[in-house]
Structure 1
Amino acid sequence: MTHYKTVSTPSQAEYKDRGSRFWAYAFPITTVDDFKKGLKTLKEEHPKAAHHCFAYRIGTDGNNFRASDDGEPSGSAGKPILGQIDSKGLTNVAVVVVRYFGGTLLGVPGLINTYKTAASLALQLSPIVEKPILVEYELQFDYTRMNEVMIYVKRYGGVVLQNETQLFCMLKVGVPKAEEKVFTERIGDLRGVELRKV
């Protein structure tokens, strides 16, 4: 696997069922902190909502995910939301569904359907993009080599994640998995450049 799918921009959708209103928000994230900031903002925007249910998935190994029913019956909200993220094969994405209670109980099957539908609507409104899976490397080299190193980083689609520039430079880069072999060979050809996989 050399690429992953995610949403490119935040989106929101509204869904109503028997008086209850559901606002669904989908947004891209790369860390749990990104998600926490997004959830905090939505809680501030909707302080009177009955529930802020959510699910997110981060990374490409499939192990970093979470789903929350936030007071709804167990399994009736978070799991259906996560199911929508997974059915589209997405990662680095969060979906929060905010519920305003309308007075009528929907029952567990009704809730599952409602949270699933709301999440699906929000995800449909956000363009899905394919991004390369990046492999992280740390490069150490003399400042005079900076131009040569940057030529290779750019040529092979690399992204600079961290840059400490003094007389001696330390660069942390993310290299697309598909270009990893040729990138490491080319950088290895440069004299005085140390390469280490992070």
Structure 2
Amino acid sequence: MLDRYKTVRAFGSKEIVIKKSRFIGYGRPVATEDEAIRFIDEIKKLHWNATHNCSAYMIGERDEIQKQSDDGEPSGTAGKPILEVLKNQGLKNVAIVVTRYFGGIMLGAGGLVRAYTDGAVAAIEAAESITKVLHQEVFVEVEYTWLGKLENELRNRGMRMGETAFTDKVALRCLPEAKDTDDFIAWMTDLTQGQGLITIGEQVYFIEGE
């Protein structure tokens, strides 16, 4: 799993008008190609009477899946510019559709490229670009006498925390960044003088800064 990657937060849409043509950009996060295709089909059904519904998506840790469609626009003037926006912004697991309602004025090849680029950028702005950071669950089980010290040290370090479990002992659910797991475990071992029971849980992504 990637230590971090950029994607979008949620579904979003934004409309722009260029020389009387309406361009509506739609963006959303997608985990699989099937999900991307379903999203594109939904927009096509919603705008069944549009002149074009052009699209692109990029999926996978190494951007293994990259697809684009001009949907009737001149080759290379719509789908490719949308895909290039995803690449240039470094986004992963995102699908974009830019719907066009022709306004009567021809834009030419260069104008179309700029328009679909702007439509894709508008879609990403509406869907909100975010960075997801991989964290590792680390459970630290100690006697209650250690609780105050550990909470204070973790708070001072700004450690992301989950719920604390209270039984005959106390188990702290710590969530360091995955890349820092070994250093964190070494720190906890030293801090508890080897008296803490440390176990590894799952890995989970959180939005950076939240």
Please report the TM-score for the alignment, with normalisation by the length of structure 1.
0.67
Could you tell me which residue of structure 1 aligns to residue 86 of structure 2? 85
For the pair 1:13 / 2:14, whether they are aligned, the reply is yes
Could you tell me which residue of structure 1 aligns to residue 162 of structure 2? none
Structure 2 Cα separation of the partners of residues 133 and 70 of structure 1: 36
CA positional deviation for 1:180 = 7.2
Unaligned runs of 5+ in 1: 136-150, 158-175, 183-188, 191-198
Structure 1 Cα separation of the partners of residues 134 and 37 of structure 2: 23
Could you tell me which residue of structure 2 aligns to residue 126 of structure 1? 127
Structure 2 Cα separation of the partners of residues 97 and 82 of structure 1: 11
Structure 2 Cα separation of the partners of residues 12 and 92 of structure 1: 17
Could you tell me which residue of structure 2 aligns to residue 52 of structure 1? 53
Structure 2 Cα separation of the partners of residues 32 and 97 of structure 1: 18
CA positional deviation for 1:74 = 0.8
Could you tell me which residue of structure 2 aligns to residue 100 of structure 1? 101
Maintained 8 Å contact 1:11/1:27:
yes
Maintained 8 Å contact 1:18/1:104:
yes
Secondary structure of the equivalent of 1:73? coil
CA positional deviation for 1:156 = 5.1
Unaligned runs of 5+ in 2: 137-170, 184-197, 200-210
Structure 2 Cα separation of the partners of residues 32 and 180 of structure 1: 32
Larger Rg: 2
Could you tell me which residue of structure 2 aligns to residue 40 of structure 1? 41
Deviations 1:72-116 (A, max 9, x none): 111100111111112211111111001111222211001000000
> Which AA in structure 2 matches 1:74?
S
Alignment size in residue pairs? 156
Secondary structure of the equivalent of 1:96? strand
Maintained 8 Å contact 1:156/1:179:
no
> Which AA in structure 2 matches 1:23?
I
Please report the TM-score for the alignment, with normalisation by the length of structure 2.
0.64
Change (3 A) 1:53 1:156: same
Structure 1 Cα separation of the partners of residues 5 and 58 of structure 2: 12
CA positional deviation for 1:134 = 8.6
Identity %: 37
Could you tell me which residue of structure 2 aligns to residue 62 of structure 1? 63
Structure 2 Cα separation of the partners of residues 134 and 56 of structure 1: 26
